[in-house]
Structure formats: structure tokens, C-alpha cells
């Protein structure tokens, strides 16, 4: 992509409304634009990252055996009246009336709708286990939308729903999602800690919030230090096998949000291993048994020939919130530092002297060669100060920058800068493509 043809509305000044660094950088880097409180347009650079995050979430859901579908954003009120949540949900639900005076709502979550889909076609335990998910915009009329995409009113969520014949099988489904979440957040370059979360009236031990530590997080959390370095299950994890060993390992030390905090258990940890910090909830998994299947009549026939309400769980990831979370975890005073897996482009190519025949030719050649080698390149081909170009590249945080100027070209060299470490290195023109990884 040539920057001269792209849409990258960089802000020079820090926007006053942005209180935290991720919000500031997302606005300044031209990733998002607020249209109303908590409602954003995703500008080209932001959309690129959003799609990459979404794709990693999708790949790990698929790997774990879940199947993607897509439900609408608008839902009929009837379904929510069946479950009893239409009245309970309160003001966070955006309610809409159509021209025929039918009550509708913009979905804040999809338990009712997925239960409706399930009950219309699945009748036998032989069709289980089943896990269906979608990645769709949600609306919650948050009382205090803030911190940019971190707490939006409209936001992108991956929500999966598992269906099993009994609690034991539902537990296996829960384990699969647990492991899928560990892998997802790891691939996004983050350390997310599963923390014991409130299960509400259902009880039991099957609810975890996945939390990344950040001073700007809205949750108060407590955990053992070991979670920061615990190895995550690799590519070879077999989702058809018994995963309980992983779950035992990832829940054996203390980790809880303030709602579930147990001071005595926490104090039993040696002081040097205690972490009391703030965190961002990026995912939440939950087994809720037959709560919706009973009220909505979603039953399946078991091996004994009798019908039972299906056991369900739901599993959310805040896809758009993750962009804020990643930036909170990975930035410096000059801007964003994207993990390679989600960077909007692989390489930034800076032409220090547009109009100079040699630099133009070298840049064109590099742009083509890198493209042919499969790299997604953002080429700053605009006239303008080198200083401003460097600042822009640092702000938008691409992992590698290639700096091409007349001086280096005299000895056939260009500079490679690593955004994360700031290290610069001169490399001969011919060797550049091999050096970018
Ligand atoms: P929070 O405690 O932050 O309000 P929640 O517990 O209400 O979140 P869930 O119902 O568990 O949210 O939804 C699943 C995931 O969706 C959350 O873990 C979070 O990552 C994301 N999410 C929830 N609300 C928002 C929001 N207003 N903006 C962006 N992401 C959100
Ligand atoms: Mg909430
Ligand atoms: Mg929460
Ligand atoms: Mg939650």
C-alpha cells in the first residue's frame, strides 16, 4: 500500500478526551473515529488489525472443534421474554420498535437466539457435542462508555455456545474452550490469566474470566506470579483428548478477581509471589447448565430414550476490546508496538527523499520485491520531512521499518529498524528481503 493513496488520518495532538494510552494511540494513529459516545467507525488501519485479531480468534475456535455461524444483530423481544431476561436485562439493552409495533432489541449477547436455533433442529444426543459460535457486533448501552474500544456501546464479540447431554460432557466442552482461549491470547502476543469468576446462582467452579494485567484495567485482580510464565498448550494439543491436565495446571495456583477474592488463600502465597494488580477482562467462559434450555424447551433424547434439557455453556471474547488491551500491553512513548501476528502491515518502507531518482528507484524495487515475497508493505511515498515520516511509522507501530535515503544508497545500503528494540542496522539492498522476518 502506498501511503499517498491510503487513508491514514494521523492526529498530531493528543486528543483531550482520551484518558488512557491505547485510546490515545488508536485515535492518533487514525485507527478509529468516534461517531457517538462508545460508537466508532473503524478506519482502514484499525479495521486491518481488527480483522487480524478476529481471524486468530476464529482459527483457534475452529481448531478446538467449534463451528462458525452468523446470527443477526437485531433480535425479537419474544425470545427474551421466554427466558425471562427481557425484563431483567435493564437499561443496558437497546430496545427498538419496528413499523408493525413489534418489540425488537439490538443483541447484547445471544444465548436465547442460539437456544432457539438449537431447539429447532437438534433432537438427539447423537448430534452432540455441539459448539456454535459467531463473531458479531453487540450493543450494550453502557452507563459509562469510556477508554475507546475498551468499553464501547457497540463492540465486536466472539461468542460461542456449547451443547452437551450432561454436566460431565459440558465440563469437557468447557475445557476445550479454556485451552482455546489460552492459545488465542498467546497468539495475540498477550499473557492472559484465567481467574475464578462468579458463577451466580448456578454455583460450581466453571466460570473464568481471562484477564490481562494493565494499570488502566477496570478490574482489581489477585494471583500467583507463576501465571506470568506458565507455558501455553502448543499447536499439537489434541482437542479430542482429555484436557483436564491442562486445566488443573492452569487453575492450581491462586487467581481471582475482586468479586471472588479470598484474602486468606491469597495471603498463603509467599509475599514475593503475590500479584495484586489491575486487569482487563478480555474473555469470559461460563457453564450455566440448563438455565436457558429449561425455560426455552431445548431438550434432547439421551441414550435411555428420554428427553432432557441440554446442558449449555457460553464463551465470550471481546474482539474489539482486545485491540485496546494489546496496545496497553505493548507500546512506548512514541506509539504502538504491534505483535507481528496482528500488525496492520509487516513492514514500513520510508522514502527519505521522494523525487530523488535513486531513492525512488530503490524504494520501488524494494516495494515490489517485498510484495512478491509475501510481505504486506506500507510505503511512505509522500513528499515531506523525514522526521515526520519516522514519527508516523513509530506511532502506527509496524514491527520493521526500512529507511531508504541517498546517503546509504551510495554504498548500496538501506537501514532496517526494529520497532520494538529501536535497533538499527545497515543492510545491503540485495539482502534486505531475507532480513525481514
Ligand atoms: P465487563 O465486566 O467489562 O462489563 P462483561 O462481564 O459485562 O464485561 P461479558 O458479558 O462477559 O462482559 O462479555 C464477554 C466479553 O465481551 C467480555 O469479557 C469483554 O471482553 C467483552 N465486552 C463486554 N462488554 C464490553 C464493552 N462494553 N466494550 C467492549 N468489550 C466488551
Ligand atoms: Mg458489562
Ligand atoms: Mg465482567
Ligand atoms: Mg464477563
Instruction: Kindly report, residue by residue over 79-137, the tens digit of the pLDDT.
Output: 999 999 999 999 999 999 999 999 999 999 999 999 999 999 999 999 999 999 999 99
Q: Cα(318) to centroid of ligand 1, in Å?
A: 6
Ligand 3 centre to CA of 319 (Å) is 15
Instruction: Return the sign of the alpha-carbon dihedral for residues 159, 188, 213, 334.
Output: negative
Distance CA 98, CA 73 (A): 14
Q: What's the pLDDT tens digit per position in 142-162?
A: 999 999 999 999 999 999 999
Closest C-alpha to 320, from 188, 435, 186, 221:
188
Find the 92 Cα to ligand 2 centroid distance in Å.
9
pLDDT reported for residue 201? 66
In the reported structure, the alpha carbon of residue 426 is separated from the centroid of ligand 4 by a whole-number distance in angstroms of 48
Q: In what order do the strands lie in the sheet with 94-97?
A: 74-76, 103-106, 94-97
Nearest-Å Rg of the Cα atoms of the chain is 24
What secondary structure letter does DSSP report for 352?
S
Q: Decide if pLDDT at 186 tops 90.
A: yes
Q: Which pLDDT score, from 0 to 100, does residue 202 have?
A: 63
pLDDT at residue 203 tops 70: no
Confidence of residue 261 (pLDDT cuts 50, 70, 90): very high
Q: Among candidates 282, 9, 311, which has minimal Cα distance to 165?
A: 311
Q: Where does 188-290 have alpha helices with state H?
A: 244-251, 263-267
Ligand 4 center to 284 CA (angstroms): 5
Q: Please report the pLDDT score of residue 228 as a whole number.
A: 97
What number is the average pLDDT over the span 335-345? Answer: 98
Ligand 1: atom nearest CA of 142 is 27
- Are 29 and 406 a contacting pair, CB within 8 Å? no
For the CA of 283, the closest atom of ligand 1 is: 18
pLDDT tens, 168-183?
999 999 999 999 999 9
Which pLDDT band, with edges at 50, 70 and 90, does 200 fall under? confident
Task: Answer whether 158 contacts ligand 1 (Cβ < 6 A).
Answer: no
* Ligand 1 contacts CB of residue 217 (under 6 A): no
* Mean pLDDT, residues 206-233 taken together: 96
Q: Is the minimum distance from the CB of 111 to ligand 1 under 6 angstroms? A: no
Mean pLDDT within 183-206: 88
* pLDDT above 70: percentage of residues in the chain: 99
Residue 204 pLDDT greater than 80, yes or no: no
Share above pLDDT 90 across residues of the chain, in percent, rounded to a whole number: 97
Least confident of 130-144, 188-202, 237-251, 360-374: 188-202
What 8-state DSSP symbol labels residue 303?
Answer: T
CA of 217 to the centre of ligand 3 (A): 12
Q: Would you say the CB of residue 321 lies under 6 angstroms from ligand 1?
A: yes
In angstroms, the CA 212 to CA 407 distance is: 44
Which ligand is nearest the CA of 136, by number? 1
- Nearest ligand for residue 140 CA: 1
User: Residue 298: CB partners within 8 Å, gap ≥ 6?
Assistant: 115, 118, 119, 292, 309, 310
Query: Is the confidence at residue 140, as pLDDT, over 90?
Result: yes
The H or E element spanning position 229 is: none
Average pLDDT over residues 204-223: 93
pTM: 0.97
Ligand that comes closest to the CA of residue 314: 1
pLDDT score of 436: 86
Mean pLDDT of the chain: 96
Phi, psi of 234 (to 5 degrees): -85, -170
Q: Has residue 1 got a pLDDT over 70?
A: yes
CB-ligand 1 contact for 148 (6 Å cutoff) = no
> How many other C-beta atoms can be found within 10 angstroms of the C-beta atom of residue 305?
6
Q: Evaluate: CB of 60 within 6 angstroms of ligand 1.
A: no
Reported as a pLDDT band with limits 50, 70 and 90, residue 207 is: very high
Going from the Cα of 281 to the center of ligand 2, the distance in angstroms, rounded, reads 10
For strands 154-164 and 130-139, give the pairing. antiparallel
User: pLDDT tens, 309-331?
Assistant: 999 999 999 999 999 999 999 99
pLDDT, average across residues 395-405:
98
Return the ligand 1 atom nearest residue 286 CA. 11
Amino acid at each position: 500500500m502506498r501511503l499517498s493513496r491510503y487513508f491514514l488520518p494521523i492526529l498530531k495532538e493528543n486528543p483531550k478526551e482520551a484518558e488512557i494510552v491505547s485510546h490515545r494511540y488508536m485515535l492518533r494513529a487514525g485507527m478509529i473515529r468516534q461517531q457517538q459516545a462508545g460508537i466508532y467507525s473503524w478506519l482502514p488501519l484499525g479495521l486491518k488489525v481488527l480483522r487480524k485479531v478476529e481471524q486468530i480468534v476464529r482459527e483457534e475456535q475452529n481448531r478446538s472443534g467449534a463451528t462458525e455461524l452468523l446470527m443477526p444483530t437485531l433480535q425479537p423481544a419474544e425470545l427474551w421474554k421466554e427466558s425471562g431476561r427481557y425484563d431483567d436485562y435493564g437499561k443496558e439493552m437497546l430496545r427498538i420498535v419496528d413499523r408493525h409495533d413489534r418489540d425488537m432489541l439490538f443483541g447484547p449477547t445471544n444465548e436465547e437466539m442460539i437456544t432457539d436455533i438449537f431447539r429447532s433442529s437438534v433432537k438427539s444426543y447423537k448430534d452432540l457435542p455441539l459448539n456454535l459460535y459467531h463473531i458479531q457486533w453487540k450493543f450494550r448501552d453502557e452507563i459509562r462508555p469510556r477508554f475507546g474500544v475498551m468499553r464501547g456501546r457497540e463492540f465486536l464479540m466472539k461468542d460461542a455456545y456449547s451443547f452437551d447431554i450432561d454436566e460431565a460432557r459440558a465440563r469437557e466442552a468447557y475445557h476445550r474452550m479454556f485451552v482455546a482461549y489460552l492459545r488465542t491470547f498467546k497468539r495475540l502476543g498477550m499473557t492472559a490469566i484465567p481467574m475464578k469468576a462468579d458463577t451466580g446462582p448456578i454455583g460450581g467452579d466453571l466460570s473464568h474470566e481471562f484477564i490481562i494485567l494493565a494499570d488502566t484495567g477496570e478490574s482489581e485482580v489477585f494471583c500467583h506470579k507463576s501465571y506470568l510464565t506458565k507455558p501455553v498448550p502448543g499447536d499439537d494439543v489434541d482437542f479430542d483428548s482429555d484436557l483436564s491436565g491442562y486445566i488443573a495446571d492452569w487453575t492450581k495456583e491462586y487467581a481471582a478477581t475482586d468479586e471472588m477474592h479470598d484474602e486468606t488463600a491469597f495471603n498463603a502465597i509467599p509475599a514475593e509471589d503475590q500479584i495484586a494488580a489491575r486487569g482487563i477482562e478480555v474473555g469470559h467462559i461460563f457453564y450455566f447448565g440448563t438455565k436457558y434450555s429449561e425455560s426455552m424447551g431445548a431438550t434432547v433424547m439421551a441414550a435411555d430414550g428420554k428427553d432432557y434439557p441440554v446442558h449449555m455453556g457460553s464463551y465470550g471474547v471481546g474482539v474489539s476490546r482486545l485491540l485496546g488491551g494489546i496496545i496497553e500491553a505493548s507500546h512506548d512513548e512514541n506509539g504502538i508496538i504491534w505483535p507481528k501476528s496482528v500488525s496492520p502491515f509487516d513492514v514500513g518502507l520510508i522514502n527519505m527523499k521522494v523525487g530523488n531518482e535513486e531513492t525512488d528507484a530503490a524504494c520501488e524495487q524494494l516495494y515490489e520485491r517485498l510484495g512478491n515475497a509475501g510481505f504486506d508493505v506500507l510505503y511512505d511515498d509522500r513528499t515531506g520531512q523525514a522526521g515526520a515520516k519516522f514519527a508516523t511509522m513509530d506511532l502506527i507501530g509496524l514491527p520493521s521499518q526500512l529507511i531508504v535515503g541517498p546517503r546509504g544508497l551510495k554504498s548500496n545500503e538501506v537501514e532496517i529498524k526494529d520497532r520494538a528494540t529501536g535497533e538499527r542496522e545497515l543492510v545491503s539492498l540485495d539482502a534486505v528481503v531475507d532480513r525481514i522476518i
